[in-house]
Every structure is written in C-alpha cells, then in structure tokens.
Structure 1
C-alpha cells in the first residue's frame, strides 16, 4: 500500500486531484454511493435531501470548506494557506480488492494515525473518503477543526501514516511494500477498528 500526502487551498482542488486532472467541471460531478466509502459523522443535515438527487462534488466541497470559511470570517487571517489535507492510497497491482468494510477500516485508521480524527474527539476535523477507481482510496480532510482550532496532526504524521500502511498490509494480508527510511515499526500499535460498515441514513 502506497500513500501520497498533499495539501490544497480548498476541497475543490483536492477533489480534482483525487479524480484526476483530466476531469472536467468537478463541481457538477455526481458521486455515486459505490464511490462513497465514509464521511464525517455529523454532516447529514448539511447535504441536500434525498429528493434532490445524488450529492454533487460541489456539495461535498462546501461541507469540507465551511470550517475554513468560518475561521476566515471570525479571524480574517488563515495561518495555513493550504488547509485541505489529502491522502491518496494505492494498492499494489497484485493485491486483491478490498471489501467495503476493509476500505472503511483503512480510512479510519489513516485518519487516526495522522491525528485528523482521534477517537472520542467530538470537535475533530471534517473528512470524506472516496474510492473513485479500483485499488485506490482518497481521503480528504479539513485542517480546521469544528472548534475553529488548527487540526492537531501527529508529530511527523507522514511517518505515522507510512507506519500504519505497513500495519494494514500485515493485518489485511496485502503485499508488503519496502519501508521508507525512518519508518521502522514501533512497539506500540493502534487498536484495529472492527470490520463493519456504518449504515448511513437515506438522503
């Protein structure tokens, strides 16, 4: 499992990166249910009702960018010019496809490893996980928390994400990739999430 981390000025740029630079008018793109892996637990009331049809990328971008806009209105200055975090995960070509429950677990463990969404933190950042192509998982998250504070990323969070990739390879029986320098396996392990798929209410 290979991870690529990047930061963007807004969710639209991150989503464009996730779907590919050749995607036209990403804002009007419909995101079907089979591409939606999981999302921040409190957003159902912020998205269109079910009778308005599937959610567009523009709806999701608005949800992810809202804490940044609120921070700018209240403080006028945004300390981080690239407040949208993007983790792009790619499986080895010879790996088996992940189940829906495994994709959900990978997303949660990556967010936890990076410090984006610690368990039990009701004011953590908003995030969205998508699987737009086979063997890929795209995780987008705001770096402004719900309480308006900067997200508390794990110290050396790139290495933390790489270490979690190695753990996931072992736990899910995926092809082991070479360890990048400085990412040796630590003694302490994160407790794996249960392999279940959350049921989202119909919109």
Structure 2
C-alpha cells in the first residue's frame, strides 16, 4: 500500500473528478460503495425522509462549503488552497478489500493525516472515494467548521506511510518492500551480438522455432500427398521432401551463425577479465595476496 500526497487546490471538483475517473455530475448518485467513509455526511444534514444519496456535485459542494462560509480563513502563510487530496494504492496482486475494510482504512488514514480527531465537534469535512480498483482517495477541506485553519502535521507523508505499513499487517496485504532489496539488481544490457544470436537461436529452434513449424507442415503435406494415387502426387511429395530438407539445412546454418556470434562476443572480452571471471574465490584471494605492492618490483 503506497500513499501519495497531491498538491492542494482551491476547489474539490478536480480532485473528485480524478478519483471518479470522470467529471462530477448532478445526475450521478454516489452510493456507500463509492463513498466508503466521510465526516460529516448526508445523515448529518438531511432528515430520514429526505435524500440520503448525494450526487458527485453535491459532495463537491459539501467539501467546498467551509471555504465559502469563511472567506478569510487561510493558513499561517496566507495560503487559501484548503483542499487536501491524498490516495493510497494496493499492490497489483493484493486481494479485493470489502466495504468495511475500505472504511476502516479510510478512517485510519484520516486520523494519521490529522484530518479526523476523535471527539472534535468542529473538525474538517472529508470524504473517501473507492471508485477505482485497488485505490482509495481522501479529499478534505482544511478549513474547519468553526472557521479555524487546520494545519496538517509537517511529517504527514511519513505518518501515512507508517500507518499504511500497519494496515498491510492488520489486513494481511502484500507489504511494500523497503531497503536495498526493494530494487532488483540492474542487469547489464545485452550487446548487439547477444541480441542477434538470440534471434537466430529462436529461428533455428528444432522444437518451437517458426522454421520448425513450417518444416513440420511441409513434411506432413508430403506424407499425405504420397498416399494419394497417381504419379503426379508422388512427384509433388518428392519435391516437398526436398523443400523440407532445405529448411532443415537452413536451420543448421542459422544455428551455426548464432554460435559464431556467441564466440565473437566471448573473444571480445579481454583474456585477463575472462581468467578473473573463472577464478574460484580461493584463487582470487591468493592472487590478491601475491600481487606486488605499488612501488615494488614484481
């Protein structure tokens, strides 16, 4: 699970459209399967007999509300960009989380980011969308309901990362590998000779190569024609057998050319380097001990 913090904006419409993968719409109702967690929400603002499923436009207006109600609220450095957006992504091979698991993840990330503070009645409005597979987005307004500006912790990304590791362990998700083992060792780029030798070897493959398939079809056709009555069929079968032999000879020529390219590549390596590469660890150690010191004659 990898958290990412986006640049803050003035309006929640663009972050919400990004999370949904489409523009916000007044005709599209977002169910609890999409908006998996929020504070507060429709149950706080509507009566039981009124609308309880909001459209994406209504959710955007809900998040924009404190920004319009408190036009002078700003950060200590007079920044009015109050919309915070972060997302987390699961490993591609992770299992699908259930609705309650996504909701639990949302609340834990909101608390780690300092957005949700238990017991605080005038906190920040926020929602979390799970509209894309394996991804959860949290959008919040840093202007609290009482008009005060909520400053996220300076180490918010580290806190989110630490909480993501704990969520991975609690929900038995695939952990993100960290440290030197996180990146596989870089493999040397193959030379042009090695690439060409690989192509020729594939062409000459007796089992799965394209020429082997063609040769097999030709031999099969020759065998079937030979069983047909008439001298014409026999002559045609003989000609196909000759074609199959030429294809086999071509495969052998390609195999020989591939072997020659490999030999040329080995020959291009300096002899000293080849000898060092084939030395055992013990031989390398003895060679290092017996090597003359700088400034001394060999």
Q: 1:26 aligns with which of 17, 24, 27?
A: 24
Aligned to 2:124: 125
How many residue pairs get aligned? The number is 175
User: Against the structure 1 CA distance between its residues 64 and 35, is the aligned structure 2 distance closer, same or farther, given a 3 Å change threshold?
Assistant: same
Aligned to 2:54: 55
Deviations 1:14-47 (A, max 9, x none): 1012123xx2x41333313321201113543436
Kept in 2: contact 1:107–1:139 (CA 8 A): yes
Show the 5 A alignment for 1:173-192: 173-179=172-178
What residue ranges of structure 1 are gaps of 5+ in the alignment? 181-203
The two structures have a TM-score, normalised by structure 1, of: 0.77
Structure having the higher helix fraction is 2
The two structures have a TM-score, normalised by structure 2, of: 0.54
Aligned to 1:101: 100
Report whether the alignment pairs 1:9 with 2:7. Answer: no
Q: Secondary structure at the match of 1:27?
A: coil
Task: Say which structure, 1 or 2, has more relative contact order (CA 8 Å, 6+ apart).
Answer: 1
**CA distance in structure 2 between the aligned counterparts of 1:42 and 1:156, rounded to whole angstroms:** 28
RMSD: 2.3
Q: Secondary structure at the match of 1:106?
A: helix
Kept in 1: contact 2:74–2:80 (CA 8 A): no
What residue ranges of structure 2 are gaps of 5+ in the alignment? 180-298
Aligned to 1:201: none
Kept in 2: contact 1:35–1:132 (CA 8 A): yes
Q: Secondary structure at the match of 2:88?
A: strand
